[in-house]
Structure 1
Amino acid sequence: MAVIVSARSAQADFRASAGGYCCPNYQEAIRPGDEVYLISTRCLPSGCGFELPVERMSVQRYDGGLGWVESSLEEAVAGDTFDCTSIFVHGNWMDTWWTKRRGWATYHELTRDWEPERHIRYVIWSWPTQKDAKSLASIRRNTERADSDAYYLAWFLSQMPADEQVSISAFSLGARVVTGALQLQAGGRLNGRVLENRSTVDYRVVFFAAATSSGAFSPYCSSGDGLSRVEKLLNYYNSADPVLKRYWLVAGHGNKAMGYAGAGGLSSEGWSKVQQYNTARLMGKEHDFNQYICNSCIMTQAREVLRFGDVTPAVEPVEAEVVSL
């Protein structure tokens, strides 16, 4: 039995022009001093081999005058002039065009109202989740692919400067990529793979409607070591989410999604790192990226975690909801 905090009843609160622009804001526009990268594994294999061709990731950097230009992994991790690095991992059924759009929307919300002297290295993680004619089959295929992309992401995290503050946000199936990457960063094994060179920093993580197992961070599960590499986890789940309610169709009977039931089965140390909110009264029966990213209550809190500011309480008072996990 665990006590989970849920937000009080409120509307989704889409902002038409708060802060000087709309939400979601898909505009390709970068703040002076920031760097924005698109790292893609879409042309890379998955499979069951121990090693994956990590050095072949496609890297692009956004140039304010030229648009997207070819870059390199070395450039993407170089420099120490940033207050933090933040990585966004998209969810299911996203092609490259939509990945960029959602990446920009998250970037603009992440940097909204941030002081101009504060700078961020922002990475949009693009991985193959295209939809085919058979929806359930494509979801299962992309779920399997997420475990391979976890290795790519874990390796990339190891390339970051040793003293870098790094945060990660993910929507839906992107959370499975992140939990797998953290499992590898913790020295664990995933699909027979281990990560030889691991980073030494702990990460701040924010999940929106996470399509990964509720017990993904449980030390009582075979792959539950990842939370040891997390400084703070902020998890927004929705017990009315009609998509994640059917997570068992992908993960098997008895499995619940973290984005539907919350994170569970944690140790006492694990609970001290986790803050989570049931957004059912905000979201209703929706599994919608925009509903999360454009909600001021959610993003006021999430952006402070992701950019390593002081964590503020929820804008609305909260009430305790007892949830059996």
Structure 2
Amino acid sequence: MSRTLPTINTALRALALVAIASIATADCVRPGDRVLLVSTRPVGCTTDPARLAKGVTAAERADCRWNATDFSAAMASLDPTLPIVFYVHGNQITASEARRCGLDVYTRLVRCAEDDRPIQFVVFSWCSDKVPGLLKDFREKAARTKPVGYQFAWVISRLPQGSHVGLIGYSYGARVCSGAAHLLAGGSLGGLTLGADCPACGVASVRAVFLAAAYDACWNSPRAYHGLALNRIDTLLSTTNPIDPAMKYYKWVPINSKPPAVGGVGPRGLSREQAARVRLMPVANSVGRSHDVYDYLAAPGLMRAAWRRVAFADVSLEPEAAGADADAIGE
């Protein structure tokens, strides 16, 4: 029996992963939903607002294809009374992989929905293509997440007034989300800021789900590098998996220190108010020694919990209910 159960569990997980990985083939966008792509790849790592305005591209999924559209028009067309959910991918992802995986995350999310509320799902694609040398690649992309965090915050700041934003960040994508939230709260990333008017840029609320978050566990503590992120994020669900190899060996990415990663141990050094916004979900038993996004998507209960948060499934987003308490999340 002790030999049979692991074999059965492995087989069941393999079947689940095959099902998730085949989602893009079905390519179903639910009636009432919108699925968009926003890419900063054409502008590299620039943080010049003028270049971003001219170079950021957008597309919308319809009829099983991506149809190019104007970025500014796409942002303006989003409905602030419906959830706007961003997925930010991790490292070593090509443009085509970002599109395909983004669709998979969308479909997995809506398959775990507990109601039929429509959502607007946006895949954020950034320049994370693999560069030669494993450690060099990890360190170069870690540095790149600073300007990309600015780019992502700049994109969010273009949303309509009163928007309700859900963030799903995977690996370095969670690092990008955390940095963007810090900027949206009026913070600075190595001198990069969105300006004095940013905290009133129009976003009503932000909720986040981080999967295998690849950034320093202390960064969300007060006065740390992303210290204002949890001032802007109303609620954060973060997976923890210390045996994920990327989390286990994350300590070798920074040069002058060896910190643990949020995705391994959760955020550390938080104030009581910050800690009240965070829920940790251990997934080592289901994900195991893997840093594959599809293993995380298959973790039991994870995407159902993600839906409740990023789809604001516990509150109404109608204008008259905009002041509703967003922290009371039923599990």
TM range (shorter): 0.7 to 0.9
Flag structure 1 segments of 5+ consecutive residues without an equivalent: 1-10, 314-325
1:134 aligns with 2:137: no
| Cα distance in 1, alignment partners of residues 235 and 38 from structure 2 | 24
User: CA separation of 1:241/1:17 partners in 2, compared to 1, >3 Å: closer, same or farther?
Assistant: closer
Are 2:48 and 1:83 equivalent residues in the alignment?
no
Say if 2:144 is the partner of 1:145.
yes
- Equivalent of 2:302 in 298, 307, 310: 298
Distance in 2 (CA, whole Å) between partners of 1:149 and 1:247 is 20
Alpha-carbon shift at residue 16 of structure 1 (Å): 4.8
Residue number in structure 2 paired with 1:214: 217
2:19 is aligned, of 17, 22, 27, to: 22
- Number of equivalenced pairs: 300
Q: What is the deviation of 1:220?
A: 3.8
Partner of 2:293: 289
2:73 counterpart of 1:69? no
Instruction: Verify the 8 A CA contact 2:80 2:164 in the aligned structure 1.
Output: no
CA-CA distance at 1:126 after TM superposition: 0.5
Which residue pairs with 1:101 in the alignment? 100
Residue-by-residue CA offset, 1:239-260 (whole Å, 9 max, x unaligned): 1122221112212323111011
Q: In the alignment, is the contact (CA less than 8 A) between 1:51 and 1:193 conserved in 2?
A: no
**Mean CA deviation greater in 200-209 or 84-93:** 200-209
d(CA) in 1 for partners of 2:236, 2:94: 27
Where do 5+ consecutive residues of structure 2 fail to align?
A: 1-8, 315-328
How far the C-alpha of 1:261 sits from its partner, in A, is 1.5
Asked if 2 retains the 8 angstrom alpha-carbon contact of 1:45 and 1:52, the reply is no
Q: CA deviation at 1:82?
A: 5.6
- Counterparts of 2:261 and 2:150 in 1: how far apart (Å)? 21
Q: CA deviation at 1:81?
A: 7.3
The SS at the match of 1:161 is coil
Q: Paired residue for 2:264? A: 260
The more displaced of 109-118 and 247-256 is 109-118
- Report the Cα offset of residue 278 of structure 1: 2.2
Q: Deviations over 1:52-92 (max 9, x none)?
A: 72212011111226x11111222322142762110000001
Contact 1:151 1:181 in 2 (8 A): yes
**TM-score scaled by length of structure 2:** 0.83
- Does the CA-based 8 Å contact 1:14-1:294 persist in structure 2? yes
Separation in structure 1 between the aligned mates of residue 294 and residue 112 of structure 2, nearest angstrom: 19
- Give the whole-Å Cα distance in 2 for the aligned partners of 1:266 and 1:75: 39
CA distance in 2, matches of 1:138, 1:218: 27
Deviations 1:144-185 (A, max 9, x none): 111111111101111112222110001111111111101110
* Equivalent pair of 2:80/2:163 in contact (CA under 8 Å): no
Cα gap change, 1:204 to 1:100, in 2 (>3 Å): same
RCO comparison, higher one (Cα < 8 Å, 6+): 1
2:229 alignment counterpart = 226
Question: For residue 173 of structure 2, what is the aligned residue in structure 1?
Answer: 174
Q: Deviations over 1:211-265 (max 9, x none)?
A: 0111121104143111100110000010112222111221232311101121111
- 2:207 is aligned, of 196, 204, 208, to 204
CA contact (8 A) 2:206 2:232 kept: yes
Give the Å deviation of 1:267: 0.5
SS of 1:243's equivalent? Answer: helix
Note closer, same or farther for the CA distance 1:220–1:176 as it changes in structure 2 (3 Å cut): same
Counterpart AA for 1:288: D
CA distance in 1, matches of 2:100, 2:293: 12
Given that residues 82 and 118 in structure 1 are in contact (C-alpha distance below 8 angstroms), is that contact kept between their aligned partners in structure 2?
no
Q: Which residue of 2 aligns with 1:164?
A: 163
C-alpha distance in structure 2 between counterparts of 1:138 and 1:305, whole Å: 32
1:237·1:262 contact (CA, 8 Å) conserved in 2? yes
**2:50 & 2:150 partners in 1: Cα distance?**
8
User: Do the aligned residues in 1 keep the contact of 2:80 with 2:161 (CA within 8 Å)?
Assistant: no
Q: Does the CA-based 8 Å contact 1:16-1:22 persist in structure 2?
A: yes
Mapped partners of 2:282, 2:223: distance in 1: 24
Aligned to 1:8: none
Deviates more, 1:49-58 or 1:159-168: 49-58
Bigger Cα displacement from structure 2, 303-312 vs 121-130: 303-312
Contact 2:175 2:215 (C-alpha < 8 Å) held by counterparts: yes
Shift of 1:195: 0.3
